[in-house]
Structure 1
Amino acid sequence: MKNTRFKFMFLLLLCSILIIPSFAGARQANAASTVTMKVNAESLNMRSGPSTNYKVVKVLKKGNKVTKISTKGTWTKVKSSSTTGWVSSKYVVKVSTTATSSTTKKAIATVSNLNIRSGAGTSYKSLGKLSKGTSGTVLAEKNGWVQIKTSKYTGWVSKSYVSITAKQSTSTGSSNGSTVKPAATSTANVGKYFTVKVDSLNVRKSSSASSTKLAVIKKNSSYKILAQSSNNWVKITYATGKTGWVSASTSYGKITKTKPTTTSNGNSNTGTVVPSADIGKYFTITADSLNVRKSASATATKLSAVKYGSSFKILDKSSNNWIKITYATGKTGWVSGSYGKITKSKPTKPVSNDGTNSSGGSLSGKVIVVDAGHGGTDPGSVANGVLEKDLNLQAALALRSKLQAAGATVKMTRTTDIFPTLYDRVAFSNMMKPDAFISLHHDSATASARGFSVLYTKGKESTLASYVKQGMSSSLPNMVNRGHKYQNLYVLRENPQIGVLVELGFITNLQEVQTLKTATFRNSAANGITNGLINYFNK
């Protein structure tokens, strides 16, 4: 019996010796391998769960790097600094898979006289100054600051003034140990022209976002392409005798065979005047207000503004759908043709059947709170170059105009790009004690999802939701009507006043978002909601 027990204990000990190192090795292997991802949207919500229904715990900016933890459906769980949450997988891309045990980072000062401090902030004591080009090993990062170790100091520097690169001890690359190598060049677009589409674009020393920043070039400026890299960067001459690299991503610019025509005011990509059958007809404004500009471009000098309902004879029309008008005695300018309606003769009454006018009934004596969803640091959904918060505010302002025209007193939770919390919105509504609370949002889902919907939380709100849905269906006959339905929403659940939340359409649908961005759509939607409220109160 003793012999049998001894054999059993010996086998158990042997198994533990063999198995435990295996598990430890597996843990070490897993710990050593991390996947870094980069945000490719202008602004991205990190949520507490894998759905837009979950609370926003952090807002990430374009270029922010996060560590991937797991995936679930179309969502990815990530870690950013000390915050863990979920983001839509569509808006993050894999950067690299690195072995943390063999990888360090190097920070290089990009300015002269850079303070290195005892802590992560300008309130900490300066230990000394670093000259441009001084490098150090990155030890930690915190709130926009980087702790580095140089040959002389160990301290903190502002992340804005250093270039950070990965460095591997096993690297056989350049003499400084950096694994970031310039991409191979191509001659595919050499001799063509690159025109900037964004407000500003960084020029860098090499074809990498981590290389030294040399300058900034502005929107609509065009440059001859001297070289192109395999990672889609182009080399340009950005100043006399000075060359550098810029990203040629279609998000930032456009490559053309010839240099775009530049107008006298310096704006390129301005539409050229073309023969048009619309010359001599009339253009009537359907936006609340429309800027008149010096030439056919949104970047041209603003001359004046014209109001909703005003009509002008068309003098010229450009290839990019801008219209030349006489906006005052002896004064001509250009307005965007996207914000009006062309008719053969000058209208004798306000434009109809385009959703810009409310019809029937009155809201006199009624108080309505209009809530533009998201705002400020919370962009809402982000897709197709659009921030939901911006469309929400534009739609809310259009709705305010329609409600006021119908006699209502309108109170807004926000009229600018600020972020009231959900609690703030409910508290405001409770203080105003309105007859109805209307929250405006734009939806996001798959690229094919489309249409509007009206949501309610409390049972007594179902009738209001039905009337608003019917009003919108009449004013937006070409949009998919997704109906009115129950959803447990904080701004309605905690709100003692009756209300609904309107999802105006899907910004994730490339075709639909083009409609959602127009003043005509906003006015039509506002008209439908207003008529829905009128019918509800007159029932």
Structure 2
Amino acid sequence: MRLRRDWGRKRQGWIKIGLGAVVVIIIAAGSFFWQYSPEDEKSWSWSIGNQVILIDAGHGGVDPGAVGKISLEKDITLNISKHLQLLIQQAGGNPVMVRVTDVDLGTSQGLAKRKREDLAQRIQLAKDSKADVYLSIHVNSSPNHSLTGPQVFYHTNLPGGKMLAEAIQAELNKLAGTKRVAKDNQDLFILKKADQAAVTIEVGFLSNPQEEAKLNETDYQHNLSVAIYQGLSEYCRKLQKEGLPPVGMTE
């Protein structure tokens, strides 16, 4: 009788463990399907398919961009751009990279003229590749070292720019825990000259020591690229939902 009672207790214990395991599996499965619903998959992947996305890693070569305590803007923008390139490729998009190494696109000896050539070549590449979207990646800097957080800029006169900027800004705000609003900028050369939906994305401030440290972390660079990718996906999804072709698309 005692053996039977012991066996009964053990069996009840195993049953409880088994039921607990099933509950954990169900909860985990529910969490998985909630995070990756068909609608999310559409937003993340299908909307970008076949789109030509020009990824412009700001500065490069003789032009370092903003200079921090431990890093240069040109290196951070290139790393983020490479992460973004892979995400777009995996989604079936066609990323076009302005640069994949530490170079600029100018050839003149004088720095001012070389910079003008560099910018002009970037715009020409966007035209030649028939890009649907132009993403210009930069890192900010300010005399006010307390400023932090990503900021996205667009040009009012360029159709699609504001919607693209707002979509990307929203995702970057989630990542950084900020409440910035996408801003119109009439002065940036790229935004004035682009033929497609274009934005300039300042991913953070090198002038803030804490943020500079984060911007040099590989994981954070990847997370920034994911946020930009999500915003781009949402922009493309909205265009498709409204039945509109991407700005700059040619037949």
Same-fold status (TM-score > 0.5): yes
Runs (4+) of structure 1 moved beyond 3 Å? 358-361
- 1:471 match: 171
Task: Select the structure that is richer in helix.
Answer: 2
More strand by share: 1
1:519 aligns with 2:218: yes
Is the partner of 1:493 in helix, strand or coil? helix
> Is the 1:456–1:462 contact (alpha carbons within 8 Å) kept by the matching residues of 2?
yes
RMSD across aligned C-alpha pairs, in angstroms? 1.9
Alignment of 1:114-153 (within 5 A): none
CA distance in 2, matches of 1:529, 1:535: 10
Amino acid at match of 1:471: E
Task: Note if contact 2:173-2:180 (Cα within 8 Å) is conserved in structure 1.
Answer: no
Compute the displacement of 1:440 (Å): 0.2
- The residue that corresponds to 1:443 in the other structure is 140
In the TM superposition, residue 493 of structure 1 has moved relative to its aligned partner by 0.7
Aligned match of 2:58: 373
Report the Cα distance in structure 2 between the residues aligned to 1:361 and 1:415, rounded to whole angstroms.
24
CA distance in 2, matches of 1:374, 1:524: 21
> Which position in structure 2 is the counterpart of 1:385?
70
- Displacement, 1:483? 2.0
Farther off after superposition, 505-514 or 518-527: 518-527
Distance 1:374 1:361 in 2: 29
1:268-283 pair list within 5 angstroms: none
Q: Which amino acid aligns with 1:410?
A: P
Return the match for 1:411 from 74, 89, 96. Answer: 96
Mapped to 2, the partners of 1:375 and 1:479 lie a distance apart of: 29
SS in 1 for 2:54: strand
| Amino acid of the structure 2 residue aligned with 1:386 | S
Quick check: which has more Rg, 1 or 2? 1
Matched with 1:433 is: 130
One-letter amino acid of the structure 2 residue matched with residue 493 of structure 1: K
| TM-superposed deviation, 1:473 | 2.5
Task: Indicate the percent of aligned positions where both proteins have the same amino acid.
Answer: 32
Matches of residues 176-195 of structure 1 in structure 2 within 5 Å? none
TM-score normalized with structure 2 length:
0.69
CA deviations on 1:188-217 (whole Å, 9 max, x unpaired) are: xxxxxxxxxxxxxxxxxxxxxxxxxxxxxx
Q: Distance in 2 between matches of 1:434 and 1:368?
A: 6
- Report the Cα distance in structure 1 between the residues aligned to 2:207 and 2:87, rounded to whole angstroms: 27
SS in 2 for 1:521: helix
Following TM superposition, by how much is the alpha carbon of 1:519 offset from its aligned partner in structure 2, in angstroms? 1.4
Distance 1:373 1:458 in 2: 21
Aligned to 2:237: 538
SS of structure 1 residue aligned to 2:226:
helix
Gaps of 5+ in 2: 1-31, 36-40, 106-117, 239-251
Q: Distance in 1 between matches of 2:216 and 2:68?
A: 13
Residue-pair matches, total: 183
The DSSP-based 3-state class of the residue aligned with 2:55 is strand
Q: CA deviation at 1:500?
A: 0.4
Alpha carbons 1:361, 1:535 under 8 Å: kept: no
Change (3 A) 1:458 1:427: farther
Rounded Cα–Cα distance in structure 2 between residues aligned with 1:492 and 1:387: 23
Gaps of 5+ in 1: 1-348, 353-357
Matched, 1:457 2:155: yes
Cα deviation code 1:262-299 (max 9, x no counterpart)? xxxxxxxxxxxxxxxxxxxxxxxxxxxxxxxxxxxxxx
